[in-house]
Amino acid sequence: MIRKFQMIAGLVTAGLFIYSPQVCAQLSDAELTMVKYVDQYNPEALTLLEKVVNINSGSMNFAGVHEVGQVFMAELDDLGFATRWIDGETFQRSGHLVAERNGSGPRILLIGHLDTVFPVDSPFQHYTVIDDSTVHGPGVGDMKGGDVIIIQALKALKAAGQLEKMSITVVMTGDEERSGRPLDLARQALVEAADAADIALGFENGDGDPRTAIVARRSSSGWTLRVTGRPAHSSQIFKEKVGAGAIYEASRILNSFYERLSAERYLTFNPGVMLAGTDVEYDATLNRGKAFGKSNVVAGQALVNGDIRTISPEQLQRAKAAMQAIITEHRPQTSAELVFRDSYPPLAPTEGNKRLLGILDQVSRDLGFGPVAALDPSAAGAADVSFTAGRVEMVIDGLGLGGAHDHTDDEVGDIRTLPVQAKRAAVLMHRLVTAQ
- Binned at pLDDT 50, 70 and 90, residue 1 comes out as very low
Residue 387 · residue 190 · CB < 8 Å: yes
Q: What is the pLDDT of residues 297-325, one digit of tens each?
A: 999 999 999 999 999 999 999 999 999 99
Q: What value does the mean pLDDT of the chain take?
A: 94
Number of C-beta neighbours around residue 29 at 10 A: 7
d(CA 99, CA 47): 22
The CA-to-CA distance between both ends of the chain, in Å, stands at 46
Q: Give the mean model confidence (pLDDT) for residues 227-238.
A: 97
Residue 181 · residue 342 · CB < 8 Å: no
Are residues 212 and 135 part of one domain?
yes
Model pLDDT, residue 287: 85
Which of residues 25 and 222 earns the better pLDDT score? 222
Domain that holds residue 27: 2-217+347-434
Last residue of a domain, one of 344, 364, 390: 344
Are residues 188 and 42 part of one domain?
yes
Q: What is the pLDDT of residues 412-433, one digit of tens each?
A: 999 999 999 999 999 999 999 9
- The answer to whether residue 337 scores a pLDDT higher than 70 is yes
Last residue of a domain, one of 325, 344, 363: 344
Share above pLDDT 90 across residues of the chain, in percent, rounded to a whole number = 90
Q: Where are the beta strands (DSSP E) in 334-404?
A: 335-344, 373-374, 394-396, 403-404
Model pLDDT, residue 353: 98
- Binned at pLDDT 50, 70 and 90, residue 436 comes out as low
**CA angle centred on 410, ends 153 and 135, rounded to 5°:** 40
Residue 254 belongs to domain with CATH number: 3.30.70.360
Are residues 336 and 294 part of one domain?
yes
Residue 175 · residue 66 · CB < 8 Å: no
Are residues 190 and 260 part of one domain?
no
Angle between helices 145-159 and 417-434 (to 10 degrees): 50
d(CA 285, CA 296): 32
Model pLDDT, residue 23: 58
- The answer to whether residue 11 scores a pLDDT higher than 90 is no
Are residues 317 and 171 part of one domain?
no
Angle between helices 42-53 and 145-159 (to 10 degrees): 150
Are residues 378 and 255 part of one domain?
no
Q: Give the mean model confidence (pLDDT) for residues 193-201.
A: 98
Are residues 175 and 91 part of one domain?
yes
Model pLDDT, residue 285: 78
CA proximity to 69, closest of 94, 102, 91, 41: 94
List, in order, residues 6 or more apart from 309 with CB less than 8 Å away: 218, 219, 220, 221, 266, 267, 268, 269, 382
Are residues 104 and 235 part of one domain?
no
Helical H segments across 243-350, by residue range: 246-261, 313-327
Residue 148 · residue 209 · CB < 8 Å: no
CA proximity to 151, closest of 422, 429, 436: 422
d(CA 71, CA 73): 5
Residue 114 belongs to domain with CATH number: 3.40.630.10
Are residues 386 and 262 part of one domain?
no
Q: What is the pLDDT of residues 19-64, one digit of tens each?
A: 444 556 689 999 999 999 999 999 999 999 999 999 999 999 999 9
Are residues 171 and 87 part of one domain?
yes
Are residues 143 and 75 part of one domain?
yes
Last residue of a domain, one of 297, 327, 344: 344
Are residues 204 and 117 part of one domain?
yes
Q: What is the pLDDT of residues 346-391, one digit of tens each?
A: 999 999 999 999 999 999 999 999 999 999 998 878 899 999 999 9
Give the number of domains in the chain.
Answer: 2
Model pLDDT, residue 124: 97
